[in-house]
Structure 1
Amino acid sequence: MTHRDRFEAVYDAYYPAIHQYAARRTGSADDTADVISETFLIAWRRAGEIPEGERALLWLYGVARRVLANHRRGDSRRAMLADRLRAELSAQRPERAAGPGELDHVRAAFDRLPERDREVLALACWEELTSEQIAKVVGCTAIAARTRLHRARRRLAAALERRPSSTIVMGEA
C-alpha cells in the first residue's frame, strides 16, 4: 500500500470520529476545522507510523489531543499579548485636547474624502512621513506625492468649511 493509499484509507475511515472529537472540544466551526486539518496534516506526514486497524483511531485521537493543547496554549499566549499590547497602547496614547464629540465634524469630513486622499493625509499626519517617504509607500514619485498631499489637504479644508449646521454650537449663528 502506498503512502497516499494508507493516508486515504485512514482519512476515509476516521474523519467522522475526529470531526466529532474536535467539535466537542472547540468553541467554533473555524477552530474545529483547524484542529481537523492539522490532525490530518500530521497523519499525512507520518502515514508510515499510523498503526493498523482500530489502533489508528486511537493514534489520531492522540494527535488531535496534542493539536488541541497547542491551540489552547496559542490562544492563551495571544490573549496575554493582546492584553499587554492594549496596556502599552493606552499608556502611550496622548491626551486629546478636545472631547470625544468635539472632533466628529473633522472625522466626518475626513471619512468623506476619497480613499487616495485619506491615505496620503494619514501617512503625513498620523505616521509623520515626508513626501519622499509617502512616495515610496504609495509607489509614486516624490513630486506626485507632494501634489497628492497638497490636493488632499485642500479637499479636506473645503470639506471642513462645509461643516453641517447640526454641529454648530449654540451662540455661533
Structure 2
Amino acid sequence: MGTDPPDRFVEIYEQAYRPILGYVLRRCQDPDDAADVVAETFTIAWRRIEEMPEGDEARLWLFGVARRVLANHRRGERRHEQRTAALREQLAASPLLAHLPQQDLSAIGRVLADLSDDDRELLTLVAWEHLDTAQVARTLGLSRNAVRVRLYRARKRFSRGLAKAGIDHPRAIEFQESAL
C-alpha cells in the first residue's frame, strides 16, 4: 500500500469519479439525487479508505458502494412517498378542512402562501401548533416583546391579504383569531 490515505483517496477519486457519476446518472431520475448518491459513495470511500482494495478493484468496490447507496436512496424515497400519502389522507380527513369549502381553502392558502416565510411561521406556530407568545419566543430564539410586535404585524398583513382576496368566511376568521 505505502500511499498516504489522503493521497490514495485523491488518486482513486480522480480515476473513479467519472465512471461512478455516469453509473449513478443512468440510474437516477433527478441529477440532484445523483449528486447526493455520488457524494455519499465517496464519503463512504473516505471513511473506509483502509478497507478499499488496491488497483482497479477499488473502482469495482466503489461501484458496489454506489449500488448500495442507490438502493438505500430508493428505499428512502419510497418511505417518503408513503409518509406523504398518509399525511395527505390525514389532512383530507381534518375537521377544519371538512367544514371549509375547497374554494375558500385554496384562497386562504394562497393568502397565507403570499405572506413572508417569517409571517407564515409566526401565524402557524400560534394557530396550528397552539404555542403561546413565550413558547414562540423560545422556539424562534426571540424575546417575547419581539414576538408580540412581529405577530401583530403578521396578523395585520394577513388581514389585509384576506380582505384583498375578498375572503369573509367564518373559518378564515377563526384561523385569524386563533393566531391572535
What's the TM-score, normalizing by structure 2?
Answer: 0.68
Instruction: Pick from 140, 143, 156 the counterpart of residue 140 of structure 1.
Output: 143
1:105 touches 1:163 (CA, 8 Å); kept in 2? no
- Per the alignment, do residues 51 and 113 of structure 1 end up closer, same or farther by CA in structure 2, a change over 3 Å counting? closer
Q: Which runs of 5+ in 2 are unaligned?
A: 168-180
Q: Which runs of 5+ in 1 are unaligned?
A: 169-173
Distance in 2, Cα, partners of 1:36 & 1:12: 13
Deviation at 1:94, TM superposition (A): 2.1
Deviation at 1:125, TM superposition (A): 3.8
- SS at 1:25 equivalent: coil
- SS at 2:53 equivalent: coil
1:36 touches 1:64 (CA, 8 Å); kept in 2? yes
- Corresponding position of 2:20: 18
1:117 touches 1:149 (CA, 8 Å); kept in 2? yes
- Aligned positions of 1:34-45 closer than 5 A: 34-45=36-47
- Per the alignment, do residues 154 and 74 of structure 1 end up closer, same or farther by CA in structure 2, a change over 3 Å counting? closer
Moved more, 117-126 or 52-61: 117-126
- The percent of aligned pairs where both chains have the same amino acid is 42
Instruction: Pick from 55, 71, 89 the counterpart of residue 73 of structure 2.
Output: 71
Q: Deviations over 1:11-31 (max 9, x none)?
A: 111111101101101111111
Aligned residues: 164
- RCO greater where, 1 or 2, for CA within 8 Å and sep 6 or more? 2
Q: Deviations over 1:133-173 (max 9, x none)?
A: 445445233x675676667667766x48x956x959xxxxx
Q: Deviations over 1:24-63 (max 9, x none)?
A: 0111111111111111111111112222221121111111
Distance in 1, Cα, partners of 2:106 & 2:75: 41
Instruction: Pick from 47, 50, 70 the counterpart of residue 49 of structure 2.
Output: 47
Distance in 1, Cα, partners of 2:78 & 2:105: 37
- SS at 1:6 equivalent: helix
- Corresponding position of 1:27: 29
Distance in 1, Cα, partners of 2:23 & 2:116: 49
Q: Does 1:59 align with 2:47?
A: no
